[in-house]
């Protein structure tokens, strides 16, 4: 199967996953800016990966804008976020990014990445700082909120090649 993996990465986690997927699938791998310059009609499978923030997937509109043009191809989206794989918020967040008809055409996956404050854009760092301050100011924090505050207080990396397995299985089907 002629496959391309396209990624939009802010701090490197999504790019890492995209390259792992491309390597394992024998696929071509391009950044979104490069892919926009190319004719993607020759590919049987198109995998798009981007970073997630507050439940939304960055640049997903570009991918969704091409769904009709890519009809009949295997279409996969993966997003990379800071939440661990077992977070109960992942499945609802993935679903909220797609309509039912889009989900009939696209398979969506989540891969845990982490936070890299050093590579984060200034607006993203500011947003995270505001979120931390809001959590810190909360008087009666739940256990989940205390854990979240601990997790987002510093950069961390929970990415792992094992999380690409469901994507690779989907490409084989």
> pLDDT > 70: what percent of the chain?
100
Taking the C-alpha atoms of residue 24 and residue 19, their distance in angstroms, rounded to an integer, is 8
155 in Cβ contact with 15 (< 8 Å): no
**Residue 128, both tokens:** 């995270």
Nearest one of 105, 126, 102 to 53, comparing CA atoms: 126
Element (H, E) at 35: helix 32-35
**Residue 8, both tokens:** 């939009």
3-state secondary structure of 18: helix
For 54-167, list the strands marked E by DSSP.
Answer: 56-57, 74-81, 106-112, 114-115, 156-157
pLDDT in tens, 45-100: 999 999 998 889 999 999 999 999 999 999 999 999 999 999 898 999 999 999 99
Taking the C-alpha atoms of residue 164 and residue 78, their distance in angstroms, rounded to an integer, is 9
Strand pairing class (28-31; 56-57): unpaired
Per-chain mean pLDDT for the chain:
95
Nearest one of 47, 1, 49 to 26, comparing CA atoms: 1
pLDDT of the residue at 173:
84
pLDDT of the residue at 54:
82
């Amino acid at each position: 199967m002629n496959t391309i993996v396209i990624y939009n990465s802010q701090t490197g986690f999504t790019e890492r996953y995209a390259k792992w997927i491309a390597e394992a699938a024998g696929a071509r791998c391009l950044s979104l800016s490069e892919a926009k310059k190319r004719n993607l009609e020759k590919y049987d499978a198109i995998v798009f990966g981007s970073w997630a923030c507050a439940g939304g997937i960055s640049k997903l509109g570009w991918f969704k804008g091409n769904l009709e043009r890519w009809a009949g191809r295997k279409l996969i989206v993966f997003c990379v976020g800071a939440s661990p794989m077992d977070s109960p918020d992942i499945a609802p967040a993935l679903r909220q990014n797609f309509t039912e008809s889009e989900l009939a055409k696209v398979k969506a996956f989540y891969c845990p990445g982490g936070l890299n404050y050093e590579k984060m854009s200034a607006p993203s760092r500011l947003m995270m700082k505001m979120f931390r301050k809001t959590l810190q100011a909360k008087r009666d924090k739940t256990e989940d909120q205390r854990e979240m505050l601990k997790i987002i207080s510093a950069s961390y990396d929970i990415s792992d090649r094992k999380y690409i397995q469901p994507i690779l299985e989907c490409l084989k089907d």
